[in-house]
Amino acid sequence: MNIKWTALGEVAVVAFAVGVAIVVIFAVGVLAWSVRPAAGADRRQAGTLATVAAGLCFLACALIVCYGIYLIVPQLH
């Protein structure tokens, strides 16, 4: 049996990097969602950018997860 250690190392590094990236993106989304102004304040202008940023972060997380599922499930290819 022959193990390709460089390929194993590359897979481990990429898996770790993507794992950290998705956690950071989700955390930024939660942070953006939490800085929105409270109800009753002028929500229309102040909270729009934070809401859009949070939505984009959550969308990015969902797309990364869907791409990972696509790579794992052979019936989707």
The residue ranges of every structural domain in the chain are 5-76
- Residue 77: per-residue pLDDT: 83
Kindly report whether the global pTM for this prediction surpasses the value 0.75.
yes
C-alpha pair distances (Å), 9 with each of 5, 12, 19, 29, 49: 6, 5, 15, 30, 40
Distance CA 57, CA 26 (A): 6
pLDDT over 70, % of the chain:
88
Average pLDDT estimate for 6-20: 96
pLDDT band at 56; cut points 50, 70, 90:
very high
In contact, 33 and 54? CB cutoff 8 Å: yes
- pLDDT tens digits along 27-45: 999 999 998 776 565 656 6
In angstroms, the CA 24 to CA 75 distance is 30
Mean pLDDT on 47-74 = 94
Q: Helices 48-72 and 5-34, interaxial angle, to 10°?
A: 150
